[in-house]
Structure 1
Amino acid sequence: MQKAVCSLATLLATLCATAAHATSWELKPGGDNRLEFTATFEQTPITGVFKDFRVRFEFDPQKPDSNRLNVRIRISSADMANPDINQAIAGKDWFDFVRYPEAVFDAREILDAPGAAGYLARGTLLLKGLRQPLVLPFSWKPEERRMEGEFVTHRSIFNIGTGEWKSSNAVGDAVTVRFRVQLRELP
């Protein structure tokens, strides 16, 4: 009887230790990392990048309740490869770098994507002081330590492009965001 109780206790301890452990990942410095956004100006695509961002990913496919994805973006790192545009997007009508230096996507629910090879991260995006729900589809290749995804949002829901730029006649409302990141496992 005592041997059975000890075996059961050992089994339970092993299961609890395994079940409670999601693998934690973060952005690999110097890795193949890119976070870009594409808008349209007079129906012509224009693409910019955020050069400074951090990613934290906690993932266990067997324990979806323990999964989390957190992305922090330094907004002033936006670069649209044009000094005049870069100066404009720093201002109050656009990103307002001074008042809103950081954007944060935080998801505490990561699910299998139906009918596709990949996942859906359900969370919120905080941008320019406004928090909006966002479902982020992504692929995760643990053997390559690579995450990739793409989604479309609308600048108007975050008050990006106000004043004379509020209308979507010159600058379209839809913005496509694409990312490719290489992660490293945390100890």
Structure 2
Amino acid sequence: MRNTVCCLAALLATLCSTAAHATSWELKPGSDNRLEFTATFEQTPVTGVFKDFRVRFDFDPQKPDSNRLNVSIRTSSADMANPDINQAIAGKDWFDFVRYPEAVFDAKEILDAPGAAGYRARGTLQLKGHRQPLVLPFSWKPEERRMEGEFVTHRSIFDIGTGEWKSSNAVGDAVTVKFRIQLRELP
């Protein structure tokens, strides 16, 4: 009887350690992935999307020091559903696609968060040559392989909208970023 209990305990420990092992995830191609940003123009919300971005998520709830979230975005994939606006945001006053082709969020600290968010990724957002600390709240549903989140930043911090657009009178300073992505486990 004692041997049976010991064997069951060993088997259970092995199964638990296997289920909690570090897992690496990446964006699942062809999924309904969405990374959108919403600003205001004359106090009316205007939404755009980034169509080309990559995600790498390393997560082990038992080893928080090994967790990481990295998101890289091709800035020229920004689409605001209007050819004139798309042409304008490519220029130096806005994203400056030529000089700054990529934006990167890199977090090496994933923390439990109270409430529905589930987690917070503490890292740095690099955009248009500026680096700013950012805490990104997100939910992670491993059984669905889905990550969702939302945060607010300010375009002025990154010199997005300079020159005649620097003032927040016409284009508001606050920008809401939302994402809903499907991931796949890396081998």
Same fold per TM (> 0.5)? Answer: yes
Off by >3 Å, runs of 4+ in structure 1: 1-21
Structure 2 matches for 1:149-164, cutoff 5 A? 149-164=149-164
Q: Secondary structure at the match of 2:121?
A: strand
Instruction: Give distance in 1, aligned partners of 2:146 and 2:19.
Output: 24
Instruction: Give distance in 1, aligned partners of 2:94 and 2:138.
Output: 27
Deviation at 1:93, TM superposition (A): 0.2
CA displacement 1:38-70 (0-9 Å, x = unmatched): 000000000000000000000011111110000
Q: Secondary structure at the match of 2:133?
A: strand
TM-score (norm 1): 0.89
Deviation at 1:85, TM superposition (A): 0.2
Task: Return closer, same or farther for 1:43/1:5 CA change in 2, 3 Å cut-off.
Answer: closer
How many equivalent pairs are there? 187
CA displacement 1:68-125 (0-9 Å, x = unmatched): 0000000000000000000000000000000000000000000000244510000000
Partners of 2:20 and 2:60 within 8 A in 1: no
Deviation at 1:32, TM superposition (A): 1.4
Partners of 2:20 and 2:62 within 8 A in 1: no
Instruction: Give distance in 2, aligned partners of 1:16 and 1:145.
Output: 19
What percentage of aligned pairs have identical amino acids?
90
Task: Return closer, same or farther for 1:149/1:81 CA change in 2, 3 Å cut-off.
Answer: same
Q: Secondary structure at the match of 2:138?
A: strand
Deviation at 1:12, TM superposition (A): 16
Partners of 1:19 and 1:63 within 8 A in 2: no
TM-score (norm 2): 0.89
Task: Return closer, same or farther for 1:62/1:165 CA change in 2, 3 Å cut-off.
Answer: same
Gaps spanning 5+ residues in structure 2: where?
Answer: none
Aligned-residue CA RMSD (Å): 3.6
Gaps spanning 5+ residues in structure 1: where?
Answer: none
Task: Return closer, same or farther for 1:165/1:21 CA change in 2, 3 Å cut-off.
Answer: same
